[in-house]
Structure 1
Amino acid sequence: MRLAEEYVRLRSHWYEQGEQQAFHVTIAELAAALCCTTRNARLITARLVEVGWIVFVSGRGRGNTSVLTFCQSWTQVALDEAKERVQRGDVAAALAWIRQPHMPEQVETTFMSWLGEYFGYTTGHSPQAEQSETLRLPIYRPVVCLDPADAVFAFDTQLVDQLYSRLVEYRAEDRTLLPGLAHDWECNANGTQWSFYLYKHIRFHDDRLLTAEDVVASLQRLQTGQFAHSWLLDKVTAIHDSHPYTVVITLREPNYWLPLLLSHSGASIVPQDIGQHSQKEHALPIGTGAYRLIERTVGRCVLERFDRYYGTGALIDRIEILIVPEQEAAVALGSGHGMLTILTGEWDTTAFDHLPRQNVQTGVSMLILNRRQGILAKNEALRQALYYGVDREALVAAMGNTYTAPARGLILMNETLKVNNMRWIAPDITLNESPQGIADTPTVDEAELDTHHSAFSHPSSEHPSTPCMEYDPQRAIQQLQQSAYAGDELQLYTFQRHEQAAYWLREAYRRIGICIAVHIVSWSDMMSEAILAQADIILFEAVIGGELHRQLEYMHSNRSLIRRMLPQELLTEVQPLTHQLLRSLPAVEGIRQVQLDRAEQEVTALSASTWLGSIHALLQGTYSAVFLAERSAGVVVPSFLRGVHMNERGWVDFSRLYVVATEKPDKSNGLANEDENPS
């Protein structure tokens, strides 16, 4: 509200004057205080008189001064303006407003208290006079992209999952594939042709019916290779609809993992005319998900329950997401009713120690080294110095609670036993005779587990080039001397959430003689070619909880920070390993009944754990990455808010949340998620 700004400008200029206290001014003084012409000063004072905020008596005759009286509370005007900015979805502007010079101290104190109450659970009434539930969440990440084909950051993909649907859905809690838009699917005997059978009467958010044509168009769009997630359809030769509700996908090579890949957020289905929709001014994403997006600005996204959703509908009617500046993380940790608080270690969380919480491992903090250009590209000795020169246990101790353990590669400790332990519900793949349509997989056997551990923990006969993951400052200094390093600054780029760790690493490397310059950049800037060309080192968290498609994505997506920093020769080694994995039969009962020639099966078989071990050996054996620490996130859950299940990205599924009490229980605090996934 421009008028509030003018009033506060006057009050801060004559801050010694109180309300209802008349004093003399000239029109020239008013113009100077308002930083405008005398003509505009007269217009502004007239508007302030009109709303009753001032009394202004103009001086009659040349040389006579006017009389000005402030009638409205300076504090109240400032507070009302700050609240209005928040309600418009601009928290950053509200915070900047209340922190202006000469603003009364009580403005910020009162506003912060109100802001904490503003977030959280509230009820109202819809236009149909029904009770409507709203959950307001402060988020410390910008929404960068909601096109599922190009969304790569964790919060973006979280929203994609709410707004869109996929042919197949993946449930991380029990590692199960479930029907999505397709109620059934099957493949031919050699895994080169898959058929997906769609539910009928599914509607998009604009009320159009979904057909196989929409699915075909969505997947063919990915197939162009122009998007971050085009890798999902690598080796697909044709996609067509054989029936209004049947989609057939043909591949040039067997891929028995295709249903899992199609559960990825990047394979979400959009309307077939997505190109025309995206070109409309202010167009909002259109999907078939449990929520539809009804508002999106720089500072706010509003999700509304989609009443015609084909599955189990969302239980909270409206989710309002307000973007809070990352450096202001603590401001929203108020006492709002029904708040979720996701703890990621960027601020003091001792106030939450007595509250119930869930925890989940999310990923691995790591350094990816630029192997394509710059000083590290060919200097393996310097890369070794970076690898052996960091004490991972000391880093974990220094960074605190979300740094849970030294990292062992692109895998989390609790994923070791689960990597092949996946259930598929209702796929009926070819010769599946299971009457319930449920097939369980045995866990990894001891021999395979031993091999898997060897690839991640110590040198083995299978991967003799894999070095020990240990801190060895003497070896680091030795390698530094051999590298002919002349003290040039290595350029380290990272996001703001990793700033503390970046400066800790800078100091650790300084002690062994390596100079690091730290650059904190925005989420979108990190993905730019200019940044990647300048960066010698990138510090980020690889979000890898959940199923194998996370690790596959890091190695094959053209937007992956890992892939974009690796040399072509390493990528060439990865490709055949992945193709061998995808043409291997997953350890899922029912798929094993597909009849393959025994000799062919023996040649092509490659387990997920062996693939992971091989990728790890390539990255670590060439000192292309420095794995630092496993990361976790926790969520503090109010006792009356149910359906809270953290996913592998450290987020909760909004559509599963519901409230079991209407009275206000003990107050808890704000949602503050600090997790990124440039996957």
Structure 2
Amino acid sequence: MDRVKEDFLSLRKSYEHIPNGQTISVSMGELTRMFFCTPRNAKLLIAKMQANEWLTFVPGRGRGNFSQLTFSLDFNTAFLSEVKVLISEGKMENLSDLANTYDKTGVMKNAIVSLIQSHFGYHFEKKEDVQFECLRFPIFRSITTLDPAYAFFEFDSHIISQVFNTLVHFDAETNCFQPMLAHDWECTEDGLVWTFHIYKGIRFHDGRALTAQDIKHSFERLKSSPHRWLASSINEIEIITSTAVQFKMKTKNHLFLKYLSLPQMSILPYSDNESMSPLPIGTGPFRIAQFNKQKIYLEVNDHYFRPRPHFDRIEIIRLNQYWQPVDFQLEKIFFNHDEGIPYRNDHWEEMDLISEGCLVLTFNFRKKSIASTIHFRKSMSILIDRIRLVQELGGPRVSAADGFTRKHPPHPIHRTDDSKRPMRVEQLLLLSGYKGEQIIVTTFERHAQDANWIQAEAKMHGIDLEIRIVDLADLQMEETILETDCILYEAVFPFGEVSKFQDFLYENSFLRLHLDQSDLVFIEKKIDQLIIEPDKDIRENLVREIEKHMHDQCLVLFLVHKKIAATHHPSLRGVHLKRNGWIDFKELWIHPQKSF
């Protein structure tokens, strides 16, 4: 917002009780104090406001004489006009600042919410007899990175999969690998040499042709990233031709193809400049038109080598939780990913799936606080009654957890008898040496309700938990991870068996940075065995051994399994929840015969 608009809102707010057309007397001293400027600049500001026809101003003649001020624009109209500008530009953070400054009591909240919701949903316009279609929807989390080599959170990875492509695609439904950038591949009998053949004619969003050099560059780049574990078994990458690349392995890796299908293994264009472009370039179905911490706009890649997406533009805008209304008119939204307050409408289609993973509480062994002692960890495990947590909070929580993934069929969870719980917790706290120290638990808004429930339970046993709600981006910083005692987050495993151990290997993950070095060595040895093991059942057993070690030692607390839900208008088709809880934007389309 420019200075003139800002000062007019301040001025009109001060005289909000004065109707349009009524003349009042003001002194230049009042205006300079209100605008925090010199008399000369105050006169310039008033002149610009008058030029915009927001007011009329007749200056007083001579020293000490009052000027005459008449407003032509009331505060509410001026305020909502600026609200519309910020919404249209996707500047929702600025909108929150505007509301906090000029609407402290929340009187205008419903009017603002109405404008916000009308901005979202399906929008189209005709351009030379061609219908341009756009879908806008809100999210309540930040996008922390679009660099595949640094992606950790699921939504980041999902957006990356819409912008970039990998060499191969793993279909979780059929358990088969499918061609993506590579149309064919082969491996030597000893499993130490892999050769991939790339489609000709694939181009990046900037028009550059994809070559084997780009493949080599992308993998070499991974070796110096937090995801270096993905390239650790590669000894050498050799360019055979412009459309053929060969990987020579240090050791056999039976999960190499699954590695290659991860979003973190997406292919970027080769560049002499090591830093990524502000708007990353891929070969995927959408290109990035705009991106900042408040929004991301995706535009269709008309030269995509596979079927073109139906929507021309996808606009994803971050909303502050403050703007989540209880009574949202869903007819204007079209798609809702159930992140915060769930939206429900009897006429909408709804789908859900149980998340592949669970809510966990980590303990920071690096901090060497009382929270990392075995007896304190066990006391926390006992005082948190997972079954009651699910029953009392409900919502997306579907069952108590005793491991990362939900067992099929579900089996009974060990539960301490309620009558014995207080005494057992007290005994463990005594052994831990806990003397009322404050324990910091850091989490995200999505898990605030769980954190507050745990805090209340701990308080009944004399444990002082401080809950810190932070942005996703804050927990990408190592210092933030290491200064907290515990982190409450949802470990999600959308890519099968590889997902189940990647949190132990990604260098900036909460789990890895909080674990004791001896436990990390034990887990890494198991993973090393797992990677070279050809038998899937044996690999699953190794994963269970890791999980059992974590469970028995209370290295983390497995809490609850949650479901993910999405609701959408019946006219929106192609909506299928992926295992990461998001939808594939390129499959979405609007059925014209369904009423909006």
Structure 2 length-normalised TM: 0.93
* 1:252 positional shift: 1.6
SS of residue paired to 1:655: helix
Query: 1:268 is matched with which residue?
Result: 266
* 1:379 positional shift: 2.4
Q: Are positions 1:365 and 2:296 aligned together? A: no
* 1:102 positional shift: 6.5
Q: Which amino acid aligns with 2:352?
A: N
1:566 to 509, 512, 515: 515
Which runs of structure 2 are paired with 1:485-504 in the superposition (5 Å)? 485-504=434-453
Which runs of structure 2 are paired with 1:110-189 in the superposition (5 Å)? 110-126=111-127, 130-189=130-189
| d(CA) in 1 for partners of 2:372, 2:66 | 77
| d(CA) in 1 for partners of 2:382, 2:435 | 19
Label 1:141 to 1:52 Cα distance change in 2 as closer, same or farther (>3 A): same
1:290 to 280, 285, 289: 285
SS of residue paired to 1:330: coil
Label 1:17 to 1:495 Cα distance change in 2 as closer, same or farther (>3 A): same
Label 1:174 to 1:334 Cα distance change in 2 as closer, same or farther (>3 A): farther
1:538 to 483, 487, 490: 487
* 1:101 positional shift: 4.4
Query: 2:9 is matched with which residue?
Result: 8
Q: Which amino acid aligns with 2:389?
A: L
Which runs of structure 2 are paired with 1:614-629 in the superposition (5 Å)? 614-629=545-560
Query: Sequence identity of aligned pairs in percent?
Result: 29
Label 1:199 to 1:162 Cα distance change in 2 as closer, same or farther (>3 A): same
1 or 2 for the larger relative contact order (CA 8 Å, sep ≥6)?
Answer: 1
SS of residue paired to 2:496: coil
| d(CA) in 2 for partners of 1:104, 1:505 | 31
**Cα RMSD between the aligned structures?**
2.4
| d(CA) in 2 for partners of 1:172, 1:21 | 69
* 1:259 positional shift: 0.7
Q: Which amino acid aligns with 2:452?
A: Y
Label 1:662 to 1:112 Cα distance change in 2 as closer, same or farther (>3 A): farther
Question: Are the equivalent residues in 2 in contact too, given 1:641–1:659 (CA < 8 A)?
Answer: yes
Which runs of structure 2 are paired with 1:175-574 in the superposition (5 Å)? 175-223=175-223, 226-273=224-271, 275-276=273-274, 278=276, 283-330=278-325, 333-335=328-330, 337=332, 339-344=334-339, 346-347=340-341, 349=343, 351-352=344-345, 355-362=348-355, 363-376=357-370, 379-413=373-407, 416=408, 468=414, 473=421, 474-574=423-523
Label 1:356 to 1:336 Cα distance change in 2 as closer, same or farther (>3 A): closer
| d(CA) in 2 for partners of 1:274, 1:633 | 42
Instruction: For structure 2, list consecutive stretches of 5 or more residues without a partner in the other structure.
Output: none
Query: 1:63 is matched with which residue?
Result: 64
SS of residue paired to 1:388: helix
SS of residue paired to 1:644: coil
* 1:586 positional shift: 5.0
| d(CA) in 2 for partners of 1:517, 1:338 | 36
| d(CA) in 1 for partners of 2:270, 2:186 | 24
Question: Are the equivalent residues in 2 in contact too, given 1:58–1:66 (CA < 8 A)?
Answer: yes
SS of residue paired to 2:403: coil
| d(CA) in 1 for partners of 2:524, 2:415 | 25
| d(CA) in 1 for partners of 2:585, 2:535 | 31
Q: Which amino acid aligns with 2:212?
A: A
Q: Which amino acid aligns with 1:302?
A: Y
| d(CA) in 2 for partners of 1:347, 1:338 | 14
Query: 1:433 is matched with which residue?
Result: none
| d(CA) in 2 for partners of 1:297, 1:375 | 37
* 1:261 positional shift: 1.0
Show CA shifts across 1:288-310 (max 9, x none): 11000011133221100001111
| d(CA) in 1 for partners of 2:208, 2:18 | 62
| d(CA) in 2 for partners of 1:58, 1:575 | 78
SS of residue paired to 2:551: helix
Structure 1 window deviating more from structure 2 (259-268 vs 228-237): it is 228-237
| d(CA) in 2 for partners of 1:531, 1:106 | 36
* 1:274 positional shift: 7.0
| d(CA) in 2 for partners of 1:499, 1:484 | 28
Label 1:37 to 1:173 Cα distance change in 2 as closer, same or farther (>3 A): farther
Label 1:39 to 1:664 Cα distance change in 2 as closer, same or farther (>3 A): farther
Label 1:316 to 1:348 Cα distance change in 2 as closer, same or farther (>3 A): closer
Question: Are the equivalent residues in 2 in contact too, given 1:121–1:336 (CA < 8 A)?
Answer: no
Show CA shifts across 1:651-672 (max 9, x none): 111111111126752xxxxxxx
Q: Which amino acid aligns with 1:275?
A: N
| d(CA) in 2 for partners of 1:530, 1:276 | 25
| d(CA) in 2 for partners of 1:348, 1:299 | 21
SS of residue paired to 2:178: strand
SS of residue paired to 2:190: coil
| d(CA) in 1 for partners of 2:256, 2:105 | 61
* 1:585 positional shift: 2.2
Which runs of structure 2 are paired with 1:587-626 in the superposition (5 Å)? 607-626=538-557
